[in-house]
Amino acid sequence: MLPTATMLDAKVPRYTSYPTAPHFHSGLGPETARQWISKLPAGKPVSLYLHIPFCDRLCWFCACHTKQTLRYEPVSAYLRVLQAEIATIGRLLDGHVPVGAIHLGGGSPTMLRPNDLIALGAYLRNALHVLPDADISIEIDPNDMDDQRLDALAEFGTTRASLGIQDFDPRVQEAINRLQSFEQTAYAVDGARARGINSVNLDLLYGLPHQTVESATATFRQALHLAPDRMALFGYAHVPWMKKHQTQIKDEWLPDGMERYAQSEAVRALALDAGYRAIGIDHFAMPGDTLTLASIQGRLRRNFQGYSADQCDAIIGLGPSAISQFAQGYLQNTPATGDYTRRIEDEGLATVRGVALSEDDRVRRWVIEKLMCDFRFSSDDAIRRFGALAGDVIMQAKHLAAMESDRLCEWRDHGFDVTPKGRPFVRLIAARFDTYFSAAPTRHSAAV
């Protein structure tokens, strides 16, 4: 089945949370954060996300909260404030709640000087109860890497290196201001593995300016030479109304919806032919990878870092714009580095917005995560978890399946299933269960 123009042109959330970030609101601050942290069960591990909001080069495709700096002084000053926030979290957890996973994102975490990265790791372990077998992943810009930084990654305790590639085609790279050779990327991969970092993830994009099916598949074939354990294939999110630097990318350079779809399907076919297993909508992993095992066993999770095998129920975000996830809802730090600094110095925490979940939110969050991870949810599971509260969503799912003329979804075996035809469009289907989106649509990137 070829997708319709309506499906390809639709704009919906990526559903790394529910409710999604545009629906966070003010009124939830440091006191809420302290209360929710105090409710974390003792002995049950949590995850940490540390945001490094600096780059030494601004990539025009990027939609992250970051700023370019050619001076290191702002980075040094920021690390001191980040340590103060870590100290606050350490006091709140009081050693009773261990840390089972740490993720450093950005920005470019690897622009940190080697000694600063090592010191940050030591500070985390002094302030918090980091488990010896904690999963520690770091986003890497291969342009930053040298032997000293690779050594620092190993000393930090990195267990997974995640490298951004996007596309190896020089014309595409020039259009997104991300010049990066295959040789630089291979050096970083080989160097990480030589230091005992055995899990490697590569990030690629489709839908980039001047990108074609041929260039996207050529990049993927080059990436296969690096034998990554995982790969992520994200659709470029063109949101110039949010990220002004994306105005450097002209609309006429971008592929249309049908071309984007063709690129993603062509790369997906190559990944499956190469022996990778499809994970959710945009990840691929080798059969023995923990992400694959989590998918097979129904333990796959989805959060602001994408798909994860991490079974920690709570994520504590540190740094500007970082989002925390708790059983009660989501909290987000202020995005501006200066305001973040002031708030940490004054209050120890920088929470400025978020959302507390209603009972209906909890049901829909579970349903949408199951659809995004497993492409189905069981009515029996929903009732076991939520009782009568699941009734409305189950009835909605049955109605949607009955009315679906394109056979993108169906109701069978006491469950709602997204069919193989419907899987590329699961974000559109998930949006049908999103009461916030249907009530007050906001601007989003393309669904495919």
- 264 and 382 part of one domain: no
**CATH code at 363?**
1.10.10.920
Say how far apart CA 109 and CA 152 lie, in whole Å.
12
How confident is the model at residue 64, as a pLDDT?
Answer: 81
Asked if the structure places residue 3 within a domain, the reply is no
| pTM recorded for the entire structure | 0.92
Of the residues 330, 355, 380, the one at which a domain ends:
355
Say how far apart CA 421 and CA 406 lie, in whole Å.
9
Asked if the structure places residue 447 within a domain, the reply is no
- 388 and 296 part of one domain: no
Cis peptide before 107 (omega within 30 of 0): yes
Torsion angle in degrees (nearest 10) through CA of 415, 420, 422, 426: 70
Contact present, 135 and 159 (Cβ < 8 Å): yes
- Structural domains in the chain (count): 2
- 318 and 394 part of one domain: no
- 155 and 141 part of one domain: yes
Number of other CB atoms surrounding residue 221 within 10 Å? 13
Amino acid letter, residue 44: K
Sequence-ordered list of residues with C-beta below 8 angstroms from that of 200, at least 6 positions apart, any chain: 160, 161, 162, 163, 189, 192, 193, 226, 227, 228, 229, 230
Say how far apart CA 298 and CA 285 lie, in whole Å.
15
- 169 and 196 part of one domain: yes
Of the CA atoms within 13 Å of residue 89, those in its CB half-sphere come to 31
- 277 and 313 part of one domain: yes
Count each helix (H run) and each strand (E run) in the chain, helices first. 16, 19
Question: Looking up tokens 């100290």, which residue turns up?
Answer: 87
- 252 and 322 part of one domain: yes
How confident is the model at residue 67, as a pLDDT?
Answer: 85
How confident is the model at residue 447, as a pLDDT?
Answer: 54
- 371 and 350 part of one domain: no
Asked if the structure places residue 444 within a domain, the reply is no
Asked if the structure places residue 78 within a domain, the reply is yes
- 346 and 432 part of one domain: no
Asked if the structure places residue 52 within a domain, the reply is yes
**CATH code at 294?**
3.80.30.20
- CA nearest to 93, candidates 32, 41, 157: 41
- 191 and 286 part of one domain: yes
Contact present, 69 and 17 (Cβ < 8 Å): no
What are the pLDDT tens digits along the chain (448 aa)? 556 655 666 778 889 999 999 999 999 999 999 999 999 999 999 999 999 999 988 888 888 888 888 899 999 999 999 999 999 999 999 989 999 999 999 989 999 999 999 999 999 999 999 999 999 999 999 999 999 999 999 999 999 999 999 999 999 999 999 999 999 999 999 999 999 999 999 999 999 999 999 999 999 999 999 999 999 999 998 888 878 888 899 999 999 989 999 999 999 999 999 999 999 999 999 999 999 999 999 999 999 888 999 889 899 999 999 999 999 999 999 999 999 999 999 999 999 999 999 999 999 999 999 999 999 999 999 999 999 999 999 999 999 999 988 899 999 989 999 999 999 999 999 999 999 987 665 655 565 6
Q: Which domain holds residue 103?
A: 13-355
Say how far apart CA 262 and CA 346 lie, in whole Å.
51
Burial class (CB in 10 A: 0-12, 13-18, 19+), 54: buried
How confident is the model at residue 208, as a pLDDT?
Answer: 96
Asked if the structure places residue 4 within a domain, the reply is no
Asked if the structure places residue 2 within a domain, the reply is no
- 114 and 258 part of one domain: yes
Torsion angle in degrees (nearest 10) through CA of 375, 223, 303, 314: 120
Of the residues 340, 355, 370, the one at which a domain ends:
355
How confident is the model at residue 219, as a pLDDT?
Answer: 97
Question: Concatenated DSSP letters for 331-342?
Answer: EEE-S-HHHHHH
Contact present, 104 and 134 (Cβ < 8 Å): no
Of the residues 355, 390, 407, the one at which a domain ends:
355
- 217 and 101 part of one domain: yes
Asked if the structure places residue 238 within a domain, the reply is yes
Say how far apart CA 322 and CA 51 lie, in whole Å.
6
